[in-house]
Chain A
Amino acid sequence: MEKARPIKVALIGNPNTGKTSLFNQLTGLTQKVGNYPGVTVDKKEGTCKLPNGTAATIIDLPGTYSINPTSIDESIVLKSLLNTDDNNHPDVIVLVADIENLKRNLLLFSQVKDLEIPIVLAINMADQQERKGIFIDLKTLEKELQTEVVLMSARKHEGITEVKEAIERAAQVEKGHPLCSINHKIDADYFKLLKEVSPNHTLYELWLMITQNNYPNQLTEEEKIKLQEFRQDLSKLKRYQHKETIHRYQQINDILKRTYRVDQAKAKNLRGRLDRVFTHKIFGYVIFFGILLLIFQSIFDWSSAPMDFIDGAFASLSDFVKEQMSPGVLTDLITDGIIPGIGGVVIFIPQIAILFLFVAILEETGYMSRVVFLMDKIMRKFGMSGKSVIPLISGTACAIPAVMATRTIAGWKERLITILVTPFTTCSARLPVYAILISLVIPNKKLFGFFSLQGFVLLCLYVLGFATAIISAYLLHKTLKVKNTSFFVAEMPNYKLPSLKNVFFDVLEKTKAFVFGAGKIILAISIVLWFLASNGPSSFDTVEKNIVENTQNNALSADEMQHKIASAKLQNSYIGIMGKAIEPAIKPLGYDWKIGIALISSFAAREVFVGTLATIYSVESGDEDTSTIKERMRAEVNPDTGEKRFNLAVGMSLLIFYAFAMQCMGTLAVVKRETKSWKWPLFQLFGMGALAYVAAFITYTIFS
């Protein structure tokens, strides 16, 4: 009988073993990844057809060195293996190992093997075997490990069919065998008692439950209480875990002695030479900052052409739809709300993709680990870890994946501080706001004859973001009373040429997640905003009649009349009432109620700011003119002073406000999920909001 559901295959392995390469080879374009806000992106999943026609779901679990977790990523692996009712609980495990670090990889293998789930050992990078002078006795190794072993190279697409065949055979096996008998080498009596707790679980499963304090649902209450008794003496547990690890290594050493040899003379030392350059005390930093400069240059240079193209395409799409549909509320919603809203997200694709391209290449080559090594001491002064550099750099594209990238940081305090300050780095959602405000208030002049003043202001805003992140990290480091189990071990992988396929999938997946994540919010806001602007309490319905009655004696042209009605309608709509309500609070910053509306709506996502102003000013003008949003903003007049609404003081005040305020629901949602509490996202929301308010007030006062 064919199995009704596809078999579940989990890929498990140390980081940098090529697990993701194998995943990409097995699944190709069938993989799916969850979206950011609210949805878990703990795993990647894809489908694959085995040679005998069976369908398999391939789950790519995060890289881990053992199943005694010290980071969030690693605890996901433990959870999916231990809980048989977990969605990720596999029928077959493929343990991906790297031929160069077989010994360490086998430690994880021996732990996973003891869970008695059918398993295949896939030794990756086998194409390097000869060059590195490595010899493996496959037959003996298979016998010793009691497991099918496949030599493969995911990059060269070698051995993939063999892996699939091995999965097929492993799926036929009811249950695996344990490899290490942890009991008698450590404390036979203790483990005998432990085994008696439950006949339904393997000894190693029970041992993991007590050492990790993780009790799956399928355990009875009675069993759970019995297991918890074993946690009375924690130092004993720790001692036994140490013994267990040493015992495992002894057994692995024994096996490898008979099956694995490295001819040291053949092992070339390219790594050492490259390391001397990349971690040099001067050149190391020069190269790193050079790369950063290159990244920022490319983000702006390479992306301007595709961004202009996307901008134009959405504008003509909007015009086209306007021509095709009969005028009415629905047409307005689509052409003024939805299309520009979506365009506002799509326009960032080039920048986000370029940034993620660089990050993916740097990770793939192994260079990022050297950055971690170079920057750790500096970052520690600010309460962070060397591993915080990656989130801070990724934050320039989008804070959501950046917050998720903090998962590799083991120390809770270091991780928390990194999460809290990452939203200060200038993400791409701030760019359209900055771009339009700068072009409105900063003169298009050259500094020293060649340096664009507008560009210089933009650069200052980026520096301001980084500086604020670093300074606030330092303040948090000095004030936060959080228990820190600071722990820092970073593997320094061998240098590799990046695989185009991996880089492509990585960029595709992250860009997709950004577009769909942010797109949903913006679409929702566009609709809500449109509704709030075109509806209101009872007074809203009588606005038109009142205006017509009150102005009967004045000789107004039809256009003027139309404008007056639209303007009064906006003031009496729900959103107008909200804007008016907060006007006293934002007046000291130089803003009026219309900017207030844009502020409110952009608390969900910054890029909504421009779209909101476009909607408000076009609803208000009530006519069909197609002037751009910039022209409308430039024409806006402050009735109190008769001056331009967006003068230097207001523009600068808004720039500073947007640099600091926490205006992104997606980030708040992801921080809530990563910190498992509302405390920290709320702390960010109010802390950053207060800072933004005060800083914008000071800026406005200085410039006016």
Chain B
Amino acid sequence: MDTIASLLIGEVGIITEDALDNIPLKLLEMGCLPGAEVVILQIAPLKDPLYICVNGSHLAIRKEMAAQIRVVKSE
């Protein structure tokens, strides 16, 4: 199963509906909603955190959390 953490730079994923329980409220509020597209823009030099763009928001999140949010890779 893919998660945000398993995406490569430039890859696009769509957050799955069943990921909802694992997304903290704060991230939901920042636009990280089921059905939203996530793109990895950068990965920090030490491989963590990840710099993502989701639903128009540019955010840095830690890998630990990104690994809990399931996505479907989009072509």
Give the interface of A toward B (CB within 8 A).
Answer: 65-66, 68, 70, 100-101, 103-104, 107, 238, 241-242, 245-246, 249, 271-272, 275-276, 279-282, 284-285, 369, 372-374, 376-378, 386, 410, 487-494
Interface size class of B (residues with CB under 8 A): 20 to 34
- Bound CA span A128–B27, Å: 27
A487 touches B57 (CB 8 A): no
Q: A373–B61 Cα gap in the complex (Å)?
A: 9
Complex Cα–Cα for A378 and B41 (A): 20
| Interchain CA distance A70-B26 in the complex, whole Å | 8
Q: Known contacts being A275-B42, A285-B45, A376-B48, is A104 close to B55, with CB within 8 Å? A: yes
Indicate if B40 sits at the interface (CB-CB under 8 A): no
Q: Given the complex, which residues of B lie within 8 Å of A272, measured CB to CB?
A: 41
Pair B60/A372 contact, Cβ less than 8 Å = yes
Interface pair B49/A377, CB less than 8 Å apart: yes
Question: Is B59 an interface residue, CB under 8 A from the partner?
Answer: yes
**Distance in angstroms between the alpha carbons of A249 and B57 in the assembled complex:** 14
Q: How far is the CA of A377 from the CA of B47 in the complex (A)?
A: 8
Q: Are the C-beta atoms of A104 and B30 separated by less than 8 Å?
A: yes
Interface flags, B43-66, vs A, CB<8A=1, else 0: 011111101000111111110010
Contact status B28-A242, CB under 8 Å: yes
Q: Which B residues touch A369, using CB under 8 A? A: 60
Flag whether B29 is at the interface (Cβ < 8 A).
Answer: yes
Check B25–A104 contact: CB distance below 8 A. Answer: no
Rounded to whole Å, the gap between the CB of B47 and the closest CB of chain A is: 7
User: Given that A281-B45, A373-B49 are known contacts, is A489 also in contact with B25, CB under 8 Å in the complex?
Assistant: no
B1-43 at interface with A (beta carbon < 8 Å): 20, 23-31, 33-34, 41-42
CB pair B51–A492 under 8 Å, yes or no, is yes
Which of B27, B41, B44 interacts with A489 by CB under 8 Å? B27
User: Of B31, B41, B59, which one neighbours A490 at CB under 8 angstroms?
Assistant: B59
Q: Which residues of A contact B47 (CB under 8 A)?
A: 377
A376, B44: Cβ atoms closer than 8 Å: yes
Closest to B55 in A: A103
**Does the CB pair A492–B59 fall under 8 Å?**
yes
Residues B57 and A374 in contact, CB atoms below 8 Å apart: no
Residues of B within 8 A of A70 (CB): 26
Contact between A488 and B61, CB atoms less than 8 A apart = yes
* A238 contacts across to B, CB distance below 8 A: 25
Q: A271-B58, A489-B26 are in contact. List 7 more A-B contacts (CB 8 A).
A: A66-B26, A68-B29, A245-B25, A275-B42, A373-B44, A490-B49, A494-B58
Partner of A104, one of B45, B57, B61, B62: B57
Q: Is the CB of B42 within 8 A of A279?
A: yes
* Beta-carbon nearest neighbor of B47 in chain A: A377
Q: By the criterion CB–CB under 8 Å, are B44 and A377 in contact?
A: yes
User: In the complex, which residues of chain B have a beta carbon less than 8 angstroms from the beta carbon of A491?
Assistant: 30, 57-60
Closest beta carbon of chain B to A160's beta carbon, Å: 27
Q: Verify B56–A245 contact, CB threshold 8 A.
A: no
Report the minimal beta-carbon distance from B61 to chain A, rounded to whole angstroms: 6
Report whether B30 and A65 are in contact in the complex, using a CB–CB cutoff of 8 Å.
Answer: yes
Instruction: Closest A residue to B42 by CB, please name it.
Output: A279
Show 5 A/B contacts (Cβ-Cβ < 8 Å), sorted by A: A242-B25, A376-B60, A376-B62, A487-B26, A490-B61
A-B residue pairs, 3 tightest by C-beta: A281-B45, A377-B46, A492-B58
Nearest CB of A to B45, in Å: 4
Q: Which residues of A contact B27 (CB under 8 A)?
A: 489
Whether B51 lies near A373 (C-beta < 8 A) is yes
Most-contacted residue by chain B among A272, A281, A282, A285 (CB, 10 A)? A281
Smallest CB-CB separation from B53: which chain A residue?
A: A492
Q: Find chain B residues with CB under 8 A from A490 CB.
A: 49, 59-61
Docked-complex contact A65 and B58, CB < 8 angstroms: no
Residues of B within 8 A of A492 (CB): 51, 58-60
Q: Is the beta-carbon distance between B42 and A246 smaller than 8 angstroms?
A: no
Looking at B24, B28, B41, B48, the one whose CB has the most chain A CB atoms below 10 A away is B28
Q: Given the known A-B contacts A104-B55, A491-B58, are A245 and B28 also in contact in the complex, defined by CB atoms under 8 Å?
A: yes
Instruction: Tell which of A284, A374, A489, A494 touches B61, judged by Cβ atoms closer than 8 Å.
Output: A489
Contact, CB under 8 Å: A242 / B45:
no
Residues of chain B contacted by A285 (CB below 8 angstroms)? 45
Complex Cα spacing A249 to B34, Å: 11
Contact of A373 among B25, B34, B60 (CB under 8 A): B60
Give the residues in chain A near B33, CB-CB below 8 Å.
Answer: 245-246, 249
Chain B residue numbers with a CB within 8 Å of A489 are: 26-27, 30, 59-61
Determine whether the beta carbon of A374 is less than 8 Å from that of B55.
no
Whether A107 contacts B29 by the Cβ 8 Å rule is yes
Question: Is the CB–CB distance between B44 and A374 below 8 Å?
Answer: yes
Contacts of B51 in A (CB 8 A): 275, 279, 373, 492
What's the Cα separation between A100 and B45 when bound, in Å? 28
Interface centre among A107, A410, A492 (most CB of B within 10 A): A492
Q: How near does chain A come to B38, taking the closest CB pair, in angstroms? A: 14
B62 and A488 form a contact (CB under 8 A):
yes
Given contacts A488-B65, A489-B26, contact A101 B57 (CB under 8 A): yes
Q: What's the least CB distance linking B12 to chain A, in Å?
A: 14
A372 vs B48: C-alpha distance in the bound complex, in angstroms? 11
User: Which residues on A sit within 8 Å (CB–CB) of B58?
Assistant: 271, 491-494
* Chain A: minimal CB distance from B59 (Å): 6
